[in-house]
Amino acid sequence: MNKKIIIASDSTTDLSPEIIERYGIKILPLTVSLGDKLYRDSIDINPDMIYDHYNKTGELPKTTAVNIGEYSDFFNEIEKSGNDLILFSLSSTMSSTYNNACIAAEDFPNVYVVDTKNLSTGGGLLVLAACDMVEKGLDAKTIYEKLNDIIPCVDASFVIDNLEYLHKGGRCSALSVLGANLLKLKPCIEVKNGVMGVGKKYRGKFTCVSPEYVKDRLANIDEIDTKRIFFTHAGCDENLIKQITQMILDMNVFEEVFITRAGCTISSHCGRDTLGVLFIRKSPIA
């Protein structure tokens, strides 16, 4: 009899409770420190708490990776059950979560650790790709190997209304913020090879720029795997959410359209009024 395969992820993949329940995904939360208090990401803290704290104090939270001991305890439970585990982590260039998991996994031959080289639902796409392969009956090692071919094909990007959070977090200069504000620029942040970079810079109001961004990302639909798409946002206006959602649905090409709220990690870096469409392309992204 084949072993059961458990799919798990750290909390940065921003999967909704409905998706987590549907696929039986295990989530290991990062720790978020806000002021002098510690919270478990998406369990006893949410992005709105971060925004409120920042508005009152000007202080951003700090996130701490799942530590080696926490991973070891989790892996030990899986080993006792006699099952295999495929674990997904935030990009190794952005956090120590992957490295910690790899160190802990050295004593567990039934554990396969995947560096998503991504964040938010960019990693979530890989989690669901693995779930698809589990349903097809593939073994854990084969799934792990196939994921390495999919990782370079993940198209993850976000358009940001305000660079204030990125600046406060040390990810862009004060000069960049000033220039963007003066010119009313809304940058598209792209994830490539595990690293965030600036793509196209849009000009205008966020509500006008966002539909333009979505059209650009989905322009070459023949190059996109239309199995599923995520529309992930960080607490945007409800009317804008409805507009973008309808744009995607009106294309009538994606088998599954998931609307998700960005969790504490991306929210603490990008702030409110950030949104992105994330999907998998048919071939690696240059």
pLDDT value at position 164?
66
Global pTM exceeds 0.85 = yes
Q: What mean pLDDT is predicted for residues 237-249?
A: 97
pLDDT value at position 206?
93
| 269 band by pLDDT with thresholds 50, 70 and 90 | confident
CB 67 within 8 A of CB 21: no
pLDDT at 210 over 80: yes
Name which of 210, 190, 208 is nearest 200 in CA terms.
190
Nearest 5°: CA angle at 28, between 27 and 30? 130
CB 42 within 8 A of CB 24: no
pLDDT value at position 1?
47
Would you identify the CATH topology of the domain 5-152? Rossmann fold (3.40.50)
pLDDT at 184 over 90: no
Question: In the structure encoding, which two tokens stand for residue 42, read together?
Answer: 């998406």
Q: What mean pLDDT is predicted for residues 139-163?
A: 94
189, containing H or E segment? strand 185-192
The model's pLDDT over 62-78, given as tens digits with 9 standing for 90+, comes to 889 999 999 999 999 99
CB 45 within 8 A of CB 81: no
The model's pLDDT over 1-51, given as tens digits with 9 standing for 90+, comes to 468 999 999 999 999 999 999 999 999 999 999 888 999 998 999 999 999
What residues have CB less than 8 Å from 98, skipping those under 6 apart?
A: 89, 90, 91, 92, 113, 115
All structural domains of the chain with their residue ranges: 5-152, 153-281
Instruction: Decide if 5-152 and 153-281 have a common fold.
Output: no
Please state, in angstroms and rounded to a whole number, the distance separating the CA atoms of residues 3 and 22: 20
Would you identify the CATH topology of the domain 153-281? Hypothetical Protein Tm841; Chain: A;domain 3 (3.30.1180)
